[in-house]
Structure 1
């Protein structure tokens, strides 16, 4: 900027932001469309956005948006253009962010977990923006990314320490299934910082190091899933990316594919169909010699993502592939967590719903509920609420109320942002039907239960 004199006063003349102008022109948006897109991103993460379209010419003339708003503008443009947009690329920073070479995975993991543990920083961390244009490392690129770290020559770990980390992750996963992510994630973050990061910096054989990286990747994936359950979607994405880095460094195809699939689930949940398809397809492509249950696990998500993206043909092909694979899988196998006939029927229901068959979707969700293991209480709350919503949509109010009562039986036992969302949606859906006795009873029962978050 340069100083100029106007009527005896000195004021600043801003340099036009040609970088932002080029991106804006490339987007093809009007001023109002840009503002609305930025506001949508802000709503996702709870950042107030008070600009109107008159702000756009000021930005193009060189005025900077408020600091909390800048990442929202970058993300809105990234989603529109299909690639990450840096602050420098948009004219919001004077120079490119320093690359610093390959990322230090362990140091980044320590920083992420420490911030997640600190109550004073957690709200800021949780407000991170989920990026639909995030750079996701590919398998060939990620194999050598784990940085060499400072080693304590007096500490050496072996298989027992790896087994202990795996057991702790499984224990936290069980708590998450029963009680929700809000209950279990603080424990997961503390264990990550206090135990896993220290172990990654210790001396070990190459085999043990890879087993440890794999166990750490599993733990990051679980922590990311719990962050997603709390509606901390930007934070979840950070944990998932760390899981990919660790799994790639360990040569662990299974965790790498599982994490990509989890990221596709998150994208579907947020309505980013094209990204969900890319992630689900990448997960399937990265899985060598997959057994039948793994094929079903991946193809079911591919089907759901394709259906949401409007690709009827691929959705039906993928769901048939998942059904054939599940028929081949051993019925008693417990591989890949909770993916079982109940989970497959959930995916069948989602495909049916996205393709317009609401009655068929209800049938599949009811079968999924009958097949579901009792331990998955959080899943039961979310999917039974979904079942009730779909019954109400086709006029089956009293049946919906039966399902919502089952939701309210389980809801007090879970601490989950996504479950809170479903109860909030229930109250909204029932409000026009309060003249009905059953609807009034469920509404009156549910309203005092809803947590203020």
Structure 2
């Protein structure tokens, strides 16, 4: 697992990140297909470390869940280096250790999930090359573990990264690949995948496909909710966010704002980082409609949580807010918001 160790050390040491400056999505070209990676023994070299058991797997899973909770509540700027250090100092050794076949598969799966989360946090900081390397390694380990769920989740994460950067065609390819690799997905997973397919299709301008995928996602979510809520997974707030993204890409800005308002209304309170970003985005779209005071009120709501969130994407939304407010600084409501935000804004961290 030397590749895993080197990747984690690059993340912990900002001075080494220059090696990741290859062209955007060039790393993604190396993504293996599911049939090519399933069961690949060479994904992990059997080492001579002490034997590990299911209790060690449970510890990795629990640590990943805790880091994910910290990311949701406080952003990934502090949580990601913690995850990278855990990979280097603990998980890599576990993957080299002797284990039964069952434990080895479970450890591979747990490590893959941790890599995916760390890549997601790297995206949040705008470290896209680093994120791709985490994602590709996560795919390899998920394949070796024969873990379809994590494999598809990572592909979808790569699609989210692509669509947010404006690469609609690539985003749709990745979203479609995720859906194709999960033929037996349950309704919540199907909603999770179809919602992203809809966003990516809308980004390419394919209205018919985008709306079809949205209908699939909504129908799947209805079936999933009928089976009981699953806290911490794709939920109605996530679906409404995708509805808003699709509507916006298709030119329905009022519909996009309403969908984002519904998303905000049903979002669990622990998702503070998402709440900051999505409220700020909703304010931008309200301003686009000419609703200046409503936009300012929504930005104020975003600022309520902003000081507690260490997130590159949240910082970016605040910087965008300043630019959008500049033409309106003579308005008293705008000045009040502007002054409050200036007191809260933090300098961009060094990379």
Once the two structures are TM-superposed, the CA of residue 142 in structure 1 deviates from its matched residue by 1.2
Would you say 1:311 and 2:209 are equivalent positions? no
1:334 matched residue in structure 2? 230
Contact 1:128 1:232 in 2 (8 A): no
TM-score (norm 1): 0.74
- The SS at the match of 2:257 is helix
Confirm whether residue 236 of structure 1 aligns to residue 131 of structure 2: yes
Are the equivalent residues in 2 in contact too, given 1:280–1:302 (CA < 8 A)?
yes
SS of aligned partner of 1:435: coil
The structural deviation recorded for 1:338 is 3.5
Map residues 288-307 of structure 1 onto 2, 5 A cutoff: 288-307=183-202
Look up the match of 1:193: 88
Alignment map for 1:321-400 (pairs within 5 Å):
321-330=216-225, 332-334=228-230, 337-400=232-295
- 1:163 paired residue number: 58
Query: 1 CA distance for matches of 2:176 and 2:301?
Result: 35
What is residue 45 of structure 2 aligned with on the other side? 149
> Do the aligned partners of 2:159 and 2:175 also contact (CA within 8 Å) in 1?
yes
Q: How far has the Cα of 1:430 moved from its partner?
A: 0.3
Deviation of residue 114 (structure 1)?
Answer: 1.6
2:327 counterpart of 1:432: yes
Per the alignment, residue 120 of structure 2 pairs with 225
Show the counterpart of 1:443: 338
Higher helix share: 2
Q: Which residue of 2 aligns with 1:89?
A: none
Distance 2:218 2:205 in 1: 20
Q: Determine if contact 1:116/1:125 at 8 Å carries over to the other structure.
A: no
Counterpart residue number, 2:147? 252
Select the residue among 292, 300, 305 that pairs with 1:410: 305
| Structure with bigger RCO (C-alpha 8 Å, 6+ apart) | 2
CA shift digits 1:271-301 (9 cap, x unpaired): 0000000000000000031111111000000
Kindly provide the CA deviation profile for residues 38-91 of structure 1, in whole angstroms up to 9, marking residues without a partner as x: xxxxxxxxxxxxxxxxxxxxxxxxxxxxxxxxxxxxxxxxxxxxxxxxxxxxxx
Question: Contact conserved, 2:284 with 2:295, CA < 8 A, in 1?
Answer: yes
d(CA) in 1 for partners of 2:55, 2:324: 52
Distance 1:136 1:151 in 2: 26
- CA deviations 1:114-137 (Å, max 9, x no partner) are 22122432x425645431662221
Deviations 1:378-415 (A, max 9, x none): 00011000100000001000000000001111111111
8 Å contact from structure 1 (residues 129, 233) kept in 2: no
| Alignment pair present for 1:211 and 2:103 | no
- Structure 2: any 5+ residue segments left out of the alignment? none
Stretches of structure 1 that go unaligned for 5 or more consecutive residues are: 1-105
Q: Looking at CA atoms only, which structure, 1 or 2, has the larger radius of gyration?
A: 1
- TM-score, normalized by length of structure 2? 0.95
Task: Determine the C-alpha separation between the residues in 1 that align with 2:23 and 2:321.
Answer: 27
1:63-82 to 2 correspondences below 5 Å:
none
Deviation at 1:446, TM superposition (A): 1.0
